[in-house]
Structure formats: C-alpha cells, structure tokens
Amino acid sequence: MDTIDTRVKTDNLVEVRGVRQSYHKDSSADLLVLDNVDLTLRSGEIVGLLGRSGSGKSTLLRIVSGLLRPTSGDVSWRGASLLGPAEGVAMVFQSFALFPWLTVQENVELGLEAQGVARAEREKRAEQAIDLIGLGGYESAYPKELSGGMRQRVGLARAIVVHPDLLLMDEPFSALDVLTAETLRTDLIDLWMDGKLPIKSVLMVTHNIEEAVLMCDRVLVFSSNPGRVASELIVPFAHPRNRLDPAFRQMVDDIYALMTRRAPAKSTPTPVTTATALYPVSTNIMAGLLETLAAAPYSGRADLPALAAALQLELDELLPLGEALQLLRFGTLADGDLLVTETGRQFVAADTDPRKALFAAALRAHVPLVAQIRQVLDERWNHRASAVRFRDELEDVMSPEYADNTMSAVIAWGRYAELYSYDEDADQFYLDEDEE
Amino acid sequence: MSGTTFPAFASVRRLPNLFDVAAIICIGGLIFAFASGARHTVAPLTAMDAIHLDPSYLPGYALRTTLRMFAALACSLVFTFTYATWAAKSRRAGKVLVPVLDILQSVPIIGFLTFTVVFFMGLFPGRVLGVELAAIFAIFTSQAWNMAFSLYQSLKTVPADLVECATAFQLSPWQKFWRMEVPFAMPGLVWNTMMSMSGGWFFVVASEAVTVGDSTWKLPGIGSYVAQALEERDIAAVFYAIGAMLVVILLYDQLLFRPLVAWSAKFRFEMTASAEAEDPWVLKLLRRTRLLSAIVDRLVFVFNAATGMRLARRTRLIPKASPAVSRVWDIVWVGLLVVAVLVALWKITTYVSAALTWGDLGEALLDGVYTMIRVIVLMILATAFWVPVGVWLGLRPTWARRAQPVAQFLAAFPANLFFPIFVVAIVHFDLNRDIWLTPLMVLGTQWYILFNVVAGAAAFPGDLLEVSKNFRIGGWLWWRRVMLPGIFSYYVTGAITASGGSWNAAIVAEVVTWGSDRLQAHGLGAYIAQASTEGASGNTPKVVLGVVVMSGFVLLFNRLVWRPMYSYAARRLTFA
C-alpha cells in the first residue's frame, strides 16, 4: 500500500483558474451557477468546500472530477489540462451510488475492472481496501444487506482501491445518522493521519460547518447565487480535534457569522422584487422558531450555532428559516445571531386568526410576488389566474429549480395567510369565497 | 470471489451427483426433441403431413408449437437489445423509434398474417420454412414491442448517481451497458418477457393454420390440431388439445417463468431488504447439481469476461455542448423525416385510391364502432365482476398467494382453444351471433384485470384499512373513498392490457367455424378476417384498411381513455 510521498508535498495537484459555469437559457442571458472561481489543491491536504445548497460547490466538485466541463476557465490536473474523467481521481457519492446487483467485493472491483486490471490483482487489491476500511468479512454481502454507514464504507473502499491521488467526496456523511457519521469521520481521519490511505489529497463538499472544521486543513466558504468563493480559512488545529475546545467553537461561530453576513438585507440591501428567489420554508416551522426564540432561554436573541445544535437543524435548514423571518421582518440576522423583531413578538403573542392576519400583512408588504398575484386575482372577474405566467416570468431570471422553489414558497405562504388558494390540477391561483 | 455479475448458480463442490444425472437426461431429451422438430422445417411443402386427430400425435405437435414460441422469443430478444438500445442512446433516432414502437404496439399484427405468409413463402418458395417463418414472425410481433419498451424505459431511467459513478470510474460504454444498464433493466425485462410469452401462446395457436385466399396451410402444432378438429367437428379432440396445452403451459410456468422471475429479483433497484419468496424448486434443483452448476459457473465466467472487456476506448472527453452544431443536424434530420413521411403518404394515397372507395372506409369505420361497443361492454362487465372478486382475494393474503399464480396461468392459456366449446353451444341453441360471439374476445384477457386487482388489494396499506375500520366506513362509501382509489392504478394497468388484447382477439373471435357452419358477427375483426379470405391471395387493400382503422381505434382508445386515467392515477392515487 502506498503512503503519502513527502517529497511532492508542495506540488499542485489541481489548479482551477477563473472557472465560470452557467446554466444555458434560450430566452434570456445565461444564469450563473459559478462565477470566477479559483482553487488550488496541493498534496497532503484535506480541503473543504463549504456552502449552502445551490452555492455551486457540488458543481465545482464535478468540474474538478472531469464529469463536467466548465463554461469558461481552466482546470488543470497534475499540470495538464483536464478534459474528462482523469486517471487518479476517485469519487465518493452522497447517495453512495452502489450497484445493488453487485456484491461488496464486485462493487469495489468495478473501478479496477474499468482500468483493465487483471483478475488476480483486482481481487488482491479489493480485499486490501475492504480490510483497510473495516469491512472484512462482508465481501460477499449485497449492499441492501448493509446499514447506511457500512454502505458508505463500501463507497470509500471503491474509491481508494484505485489508489487515486485525489479523493473527491460529495457530502459523504450527510445521508447518515449523527453517530454513524461521526464514527466514519474519525475513522477516515485516523487512516489519513496514519498515512494508510493511498491518497495524496482530499477535496470534500459539505454544508456542515462543524464537519468542515473537524476534518479539513483549509475551508473555502461559498456564497450563493451565483456561487463564489467568499472567503478562505486555514484550520490551524492538529488532529485529533476536539469539538469542545473553545478555539474550535470560536472558529465554528466565526464561520456562521461569515455565512450569515452574506444574507441579502444586511450588507448590501438588495431590494426584494417579484424576481427574488424564495425558499419554501414551512410556516409551521417559522412559527415554532419564533416561539422558541421569544421564550427563555433565548428571550429574543439566539446564537446560530447554539440554536442549530439545540434544534438539531443543519445549517442548510436554519439559514433559510432565518432569512425567511428576516424577509417578513419577523426577525433579523446579525453577526451569527438571530433576533426577534417587534412584529415577531406580536406574532408569537397572537392566536391563530390574528397570526394569519399579521402574516398576510407581512407578505403583502414585503414579498412583491405575493402582492402581485393577489392584485391580479382581485382584478380578474372570475378571480382565477394561471400560475404558468408567474412561473415563466421567474424562469426568465432564475433556474427552473429556483423558480419551482419560489413558486412553492409563494403557494404555501399565500395559502397559510389565506390570501389566495391554489388548484394543483389546473395549476391556477384563485380566490375562495371568504378570501374575496 | 470472481467478478461475477450473474452468480445465481454459484456452488462450491464440483463432483457430479444424482441431481446431475436427472438434469442431464432431461437436457438430452430436450436436445433430441428440438433436433427432430427442427428437421421438418426444411422439408418441401408437398411433404407437409396432414394433421392427425389421434391424441398420440399431440406431444409432437405440442413440441413444435413450443419450438416456434422460443424461436420467436429469441428474435424478440435480439430486436429488443438492438432497437431499444439504439432508441435510448441516440437522441435523434429515439425521436422516431419511440413513437413507431408506440404505434406498433397498437397494431393488430394478426391481421397481417396473410401478407407475411405470402412474403415468407416468396422467400422460400415451396418450402415449409416459409409458412413456419410467417408463424414465427406473427408470434414475434406479439412479443417484441413491450419488451423493447421496457428496456428503453429502463435505459432512460438509470439513476443519475450510478451513471455519474460509472463515468467517474471510467467504465467503457460496453462495460457500462452490461454492468449497469442491463442489470438495472433486468426485472422489468424479465417480467415483460413473461407477459409477452403469455400473449404469444394465443398467437401461436392462431397463426399455425393460415388461410390465404383459396389455400390453407396447417403447420404441425396444437393450433392446427384444433383447426382440424373444428373441420371434422370432433369435440373430443378439442378437449385433448386443451389438455395438451395445459401441460405445456404448466411446464413452461414451472421450468422457466418462476425460476426466472425469482432470479431477476436480485437486480431490483432497492436498498431495503424485502421479504423474498422462497426459491422455486427448479432453481433449487439447479443450485444443488454439481456438474451442471460447474458448467453454468464456466458460462457465467465467460459471459462476465466478455462483458467486462473494455472494447471501446474509455470516455476521455466530456464534450462541451455546442448548441449551434447540434441544431444544424437536428434540422437536417427533421428534413429527412419530412421527406420520408411525404413519400410514404404519396405511396399510400396512390395505392389506396386505386383500390378503395370512401364507401369502404365508411364500412370499416362502422364495423370499428361495433367492435368498440363490444370492447367497452366487455370491459365494463369484466370490471364489475373481477374487481370485487380481486379485492376480496387480495385482502386475504393466503387466498391472494394462491389466486395470483392461477390468474397468471389463465392469462397465459391461449383462450382460442376454448372457442370451439362456445361455437358448439351457439350452433346448438341457435343463439344470436352478434351477442354470443362477443365473450370470446375477453376470454383470455380478463385475467389481466384480475391479477392486477389482486396485487393492488394485497399492497393496500394496512393502516388505511385499520383507519376505515376504526371510523366504521362501510358499504359503498368504503368502495368509493377507500378501496377503489387505492387499487385504481393497478386496475388501469391491467385494463390497458386487457382492452388491447380484446381488440386483437376480435380478429379471431368475430368469425369462427364449426365444420361447414360459419358463424360471423358484425365488427372490424370479422371485416379483416373476411377480407383475408377473399380472392386468390386475399383482398390486400381491404385488409390494410381494416388493420389501419383498427390501429386508429386502439390508439384513440389509449390516448383518450387509458392515458388520462393512468396519469391521473399516477398523480393522485399512489401511496408514494
């Protein structure tokens, strides 16, 4: 088994220069997913790409893997231009991507078979990798007989068996439960520190801040829409790291602050228009969060990392919630904290119907798209309007996925506020009798 | 451990045992029988034996019928793997191939039997082989389309993460096909192959005795045996034939169907270990034999070595999409298609206008309406009867387990073997043909409704049943709000198959003979059957017209009735 070659520690494995990735759209200008991203990967380091969903970090990973060609910009792999899936790069998938009709052994051998490695050699190397990753004895099992953590171990074994210089991991632990994920993370770091992995460098995508600080030597924080590298941080702690260490906690806090600072209304107050992308946050959870915030021990102000830990919410879930509250002026995001506003307190104190009234007022005042839909419905003689036109208008300025999210948000919030109803079969907004 | 992809028959010990002896004798017998059956096909037409009604001839006839079936199946598989793969891999080809397949599925090919016989006889003048190939072709056309569709759909829906994984690990297209795409498609393909085989028995019986114009050919087989029995008014022979067919289908079901379905379960794309049914006895026997499983192991090894070869160069480049270039080719492609369509249209109009009048079209359409009324009435009756029965069975697990194989078995049984019994009854009681010939159309196809409804009711979530008991929902309300919506998507699946099959069956069910008596109902099936026997080689333009009109009816029926129901069921009435 190879070990890390210390002589090439300063070599650049991957260089990404000025990469832009756009989503092609016929009717209007291209929509940017990644904008002007630079990234250098050196031997001997674990680098994390941290950001919220939709920040393009997975796209960047696929560009580095050669699965995707960037719209513009250069990617070089070991000094040569990267034009397709390269030798020496292996990938671990969020969904494990195991072939259910192949046994553990056969799954692990797959990459070697693609390289045309002879059978005997294939079997030997696969067995080594399986043993290394702690799956010895499971060679003849089928993936469906294994637990989630075991499956991801197969995914890891399949990647390292080809002795890649670069291991790519796309949110490898996010489909696992907390305990399993933690075990797998520590096991992986232990193997890495002991130099037992035949790998020179790791690039991993995550939306979990603690995971990034726990595992990575360097973290690139992405901002969303379009994806850019907002900042680059060196994690100075030696392995094994302690999550409870104050310095560790401080770094997690700082990254939270860094990520919430990118929220629209704070730094650059970009006006909310009918073309602003919305995220369909459940009104129930918004109400629940407001109630929690207003009550003790938070009494109106909560530190985001602490809140995330207490509510068992991922960054990816908490931030959209905070932003939705901020959008409706029920809350404010500042310096990694979430604060309840006066309107927010009124909402918490109110009963069901007054709550709906408050929510409706906030929607009409601060979400122009909702106000526009209601206005169109009021003007129509039959109080019906097709949702297609609103969706089309959104798709002119954002990707279909974002447009879908925005429509879902507008439908769900409008329904809760009883501003309008929505008929899914006809894809139409309409006014009910008591809404008119 | 080897890199086996198909390790179903894995075994450790290698010495032959008693099971081997039994298995080898069976295989030897099969080979010998196949060889003697095949020898007759190259004989000249004049040497074609008359069909004997002595039951001792039946095993031989049954063998010939089965051989035809498997020859057609082999053709269907070849077609499936080429056509569907091409349609799925080439965007441009797919745009044409998929709709063509969709239409072919609705064409009652059995109506074309006259041309195919003439065509294949022209290829091998004076040989039995011509008629033989025509029969095989007819069976092929009843099997191939849905198999190809199943493979196409699987190829198009391989999970994205698997595709990415295969690309990232640089599998060659050849390796990707055999390691990822074919295994993923396997359960659907096996299931559809089995459904095709079931449908095929009907066609093999119908296509063995062919009348074109004045001449009739009878290939040795169960279908011809029945045809002969009809001519000689021998009802006992009809029962012998039914008995022989029962044995054949029982063997095919036990030796092939059940082992294959059990084996294909391992390719199901699911990550949860579901309760698996016990292995069928044939699979167990195969696994227990030593020499045979060693041979199978060798074959599997060769297969895996062949499919594991890299062959083509690995994907080195992920091409950047250049919309401008591909658009030019799109335009060229569409242009070619338009030209082809125009030429075809011109050919059809010149041909048809020379031989047919508007009156013929009117007649065919009117007959089509008659047949459509029959199909609708039959579907309503079959639904009213089988849905309650199916729900009753499906909600009782022990009964469902017993009923399911029986219904599948009945669906595979060629219903046309039962026609003579009806015919005798109609002649005897002098019943109205337009009414009493009708049930024949649904005789073989109603079982699809039954076994789908049983499956649906068996899969109905237990908690929802408990809820309805808890709220004491009963009577009509229970059917309307609880059970019918729950089984609807299953019912539609079965009903689509049943109604399509009924249209096809019309061609053989609307005209039947008993000795010199000829019983005919009004309908499009009778129109086509009538046209094929006119003149020296059939009235070709009228047959084409009849088949085209029938295809039109089937297509419209599917588009206007079944498709909307199906998509509604998929959107609203599933438990996902």
- pLDDT tens for each residue of B416-429: 888 888 888 888 88
The DSSP H or E segment spanning B238 is helix B235-252
> What part of A 110-149 touches B (C-beta under 8 Å)?
110-111, 113-116, 119, 122-123, 139-140, 142-145
Give me the pLDDT at residue B42, please.
Answer: 57
pLDDT of residue B556 exceeding 80: yes
Distance of CA A23 to the CA centre of its chain: 18
Pick from A163-172, A247-256, B304-313: least confident = B304-313
Most confident of the following: A418-432, B191-205, B278-292, B435-449? A418-432
- Of the candidates A348, A301, A297, A342, the residue with the CA atom closest to the CA atom of residue A322: A301
Q: Does A43 touch chain B (CB under 8 A)?
A: no
Give me the pLDDT at residue B8, please.
Answer: 35
Q: Are A173 and A214 in contact (CB under 8 A)?
A: no
* Greater pLDDT, A257 or B113: A257
Residue A226 banded pLDDT, cuts 50, 70, 90: confident
Q: How far is B321 from chain A (nearest CA, A)?
A: 9
- Of the candidates A181, A240, A246, the residue with the CA atom closest to the CA atom of residue A211: A181
Identify which of A67, A90, A114 has the shortest CB distance to residue B318. A67
* Greater pLDDT, B333 or A188: A188
CA distance A23 to B167: 21
Q: What is the pLDDT of residues B183-192, one digit of tens each?
A: 888 888 888 8
Give me the pLDDT at residue B9, please.
Answer: 37
| Residue that is written with structure tokens 């890199």 in the block | B3
CA distance A111 to A89: 11
CA distance A60 to A55: 10
Burial B449-477 (b: 16+ CB within 10 A, else e): bbbbbbbbbbebeeeebeebeeeebeeee
Per DSSP, the three-state class of A77 is strand
Half-sphere exposure (Cβ direction) of A102: Cα atoms closer than 13 Å: 27
CA distance B53 to A160: 70
pLDDT of residue A221 exceeding 70: yes
CA distance A265 to B369: 67
Q: What is the average per-residue pLDDT within B100-118?
A: 76
CATH topology of domain B356-576: MetI-like fold (1.10.3720)
Q: What is the average per-residue pLDDT within A222-232?
A: 84
Q: What is the average per-residue pLDDT within B403-419?
A: 80
CA distance A223 to A264: 11
Q: How far is CA B73 from CA A228, B69, B410, in A?
A: 57, 6, 20
CA distance B512 to B421: 11
Distance of CA B204 to the CA centre of its chain: 11
For residue A238, give every residue at least 6 positions away whose Cβ sits within 8 Å of its Cβ, in sequence order, or none.
none
* Greater pLDDT, A322 or B11: A322
Residue B499 banded pLDDT, cuts 50, 70, 90: confident
Indicate the pairing of strand B511-514 with strand B517-520. antiparallel
Q: Does A103 touch chain B (CB under 8 A)?
A: yes
| Interchain pair A109, B186: CB under 8 A | no
CA distance B293 to A221: 57
Q: What is the pLDDT of residues A283-312, one digit of tens each?
A: 999 999 999 999 888 888 898 888 888 888
* Greater pLDDT, B542 or B83: B83
Mean pLDDT of chain B: 80
Q: What is the pLDDT of residues A67-91, one digit of tens each?
A: 888 888 899 998 888 888 888 899 9
Give me the pLDDT at residue A411, please.
Answer: 94
Q: Are B286 and A53 in contact (CB under 8 A)?
A: no
Q: What is the average per-residue pLDDT within A158-177?
A: 91
- Of the candidates A123, A115, A200, A129, the residue with the CA atom closest to the CA atom of residue A159: A129
Between helix A352-366 and helix A368-379 the angle, nearest 10°, is 100
Give me the pLDDT at residue B255, please.
Answer: 82
B7-13, long-range: CB within 8 Å, 24+ apart, which pairs?
B7/A103, B7/B300, B8/B263, B8/B266, B8/B283, B8/B287, B9/B286, B9/B287, B9/B292, B9/B293, B9/B296, B9/B297, B9/B300, B10/B287, B10/B293, B10/B297, B11/B287, B11/B288, B11/B289, B11/B290, B11/B293, B11/B294, B11/B297, B13/B290
Q: Are B163 and A62 in contact (CB under 8 A)?
A: no
How long is chain B?
A: 576
Q: Where are the domains of chain B?
A: 49-269+304-318, 356-576
Give me the pLDDT at residue A3, please.
Answer: 44
* Greater pLDDT, A221 or A269: A221
- Of the candidates B426, B448, B452, the residue with the CA atom closest to the CA atom of residue B439: B426
Per DSSP, the three-state class of A161 is coil
Half-sphere exposure (Cβ direction) of B13: Cα atoms closer than 13 Å: 8
Partners of residue A331 on adjacent β-strands? A340
Task: Please report, for chain A, how many H helices and E strands are present, in that order.
Answer: 15, 16
Give me the pLDDT at residue B4, please.
Answer: 33
Give me the pLDDT at residue B505, please.
Answer: 83
Cα dihedral angle (B258, B262, B267, B268), rounded to 10 degrees? 100
| Residue that is written with structure tokens 């509250």 in the block | A325
pLDDT of residue B44 exceeding 80: no
Q: Are B253 and B412 in contact (CB under 8 A)?
A: yes
Q: Does A69 touch chain B (CB under 8 A)?
A: yes
Q: Give the E-state strand segments of A288-386 in sequence order.
A: 301-303, 331-334, 337-340, 384-386
Contacts of A139 in chain B (CB under 8 A): 1
Give me the pLDDT at residue A16, please.
Answer: 92
Residue A185 banded pLDDT, cuts 50, 70, 90: very high
Mutate to test the interface with A, among B174, B307, B318 (most CBs of A within 10 A): B318
| Interchain pair B179, A99: CB under 8 A | yes
Q: How far is A141 from chain B (nearest CA, A)?
A: 12
The two three-digit tokens of residue B414, written as one number: 């060629």
Q: What is the pLDDT of residues A304-338, one digit of tens each?
A: 888 888 888 877 788 889 889 999 999 988 878 89
- Of the candidates A210, A212, A217, A221, the residue with the CA atom closest to the CA atom of residue A239: A217
Q: What is the pLDDT of residues A133-153, one digit of tens each?
A: 988 899 999 988 899 899 999
Residue A232 banded pLDDT, cuts 50, 70, 90: very high
How many other β-carbons are positioned within 10 Å of the β-carbon of residue B116?
Answer: 24
Domain A6-260 has CATH 3.40.1030.10: no
CA distance A134 to A293: 43
| Interchain pair B315, A143: CB under 8 A | no
For residue A160, give every residue at least 6 positions away whose Cβ sits within 8 Å of its Cβ, in sequence order, or none.
A90, A129, A132, A133, A167, A197, A198, A199
Give me the pLDDT at residue B1, please.
Answer: 34
Backbone angles phi, psi at A28, to 5 degrees: -130, -165
| Interchain pair B319, A143: CB under 8 A | no
Give me the pLDDT at residue A355, please.
Answer: 93
pLDDT of residue B399 exceeding 60: yes
For residue B553, give every residue at least 6 positions away whose Cβ sits within 8 Å of its Cβ, in sequence order, or none.
B368, B371, B372, B503, B524
Give me the pLDDT at residue A267, please.
Answer: 43
Q: Are A99 and A107 in contact (CB under 8 A)?
A: yes
Quote helix, strand, coil % in chain A, to nearest 5.
45, 20, 35
| Interchain pair A144, B269: CB under 8 A | no
CA distance A265 to A255: 19
Q: What is the pLDDT of residues A7-41, one digit of tens each?
A: 444 478 899 999 988 876 554 556 778 888 999 99
CA distance B92 to A379: 46
* Greater pLDDT, B55 or A53: B55
Give me the pLDDT at residue B266, please.
Answer: 76
Q: Which residue of B has its CA nearest to A170?
A: B161
For residue A192, give every residue at least 6 positions away whose Cβ sits within 8 Å of its Cβ, in sequence order, or none.
A46, A199, A202
Distance of CA B393 to the CA centre of its chain: 26
The interface predicted TM-score of the complex, written ipTM, equals 0.75
Q: Give the E-state strand segments of A147-298 in sequence order.
A: 166-170, 201-206, 218-223, 228-234
Half-sphere exposure (Cβ direction) of A351: Cα atoms closer than 13 Å: 1
Q: How far is A132 from chain B (nearest CA, A)?
A: 18
**Within this chain, domains B49-269+304-318 and B356-576 share the same CATH topology:** yes
The two three-digit tokens of residue A42, written as one number: 């050196």
For the residues of B348-361, what is the DSSP string, one character each?
HHHHHHHH--HHHH
Instruction: Indicate the CATH number for domain B49-269+304-318.
Output: 1.10.3720.10
Q: What is the pLDDT of residues A364-391, one digit of tens each?
A: 999 999 999 999 999 998 899 999 999 9
Q: What is the pLDDT of residues A104-144, one digit of tens each?
A: 999 999 888 888 888 899 999 999 999 999 888 999 999 88
Indicate the pairing of strand A166-170 with strand A201-206. parallel
Contacts of A105 in chain B (CB under 8 A): 1
Mean pLDDT of chain A: 86
Q: How far is B371 from chain A (nearest CA, A)?
A: 34
Task: Evaluate the CA torsion angle A275, A279, A283, A286 in order and state its sign.
Answer: negative
Identity of the amino acid at A119: R
CA distance A290 to A300: 9
| Interchain pair A93, B164: CB under 8 A | yes
Give me the pLDDT at residue A10, please.
Answer: 47
CA distance A377 to A421: 10
| Residue that is written with structure tokens 């030209």 in the block | B339
The two three-digit tokens of residue A233, written as one number: 């941080």
Q: What is the pLDDT of residues B12-36, one digit of tens each?
A: 344 556 666 666 666 666 666 666 6
Identify which of A69, A83, A93 has the shortest CB distance to residue B316. A83
How many other β-carbons are positioned within 10 Å of the β-carbon of residue A267?
Answer: 9
Q: How far is CA B280 from CA A66, B8, B167, B247, B392, in A?
A: 46, 13, 37, 18, 26
How many other β-carbons are positioned within 10 Å of the β-carbon of residue B575?
Answer: 9
Q: What is the average per-residue pLDDT within A245-258?
A: 90
- Of the candidates A199, A211, A257, A258, the residue with the CA atom closest to the CA atom of residue A235: A211
Q: What is the pLDDT of residues B264-276, one digit of tens each?
A: 877 777 655 554 5
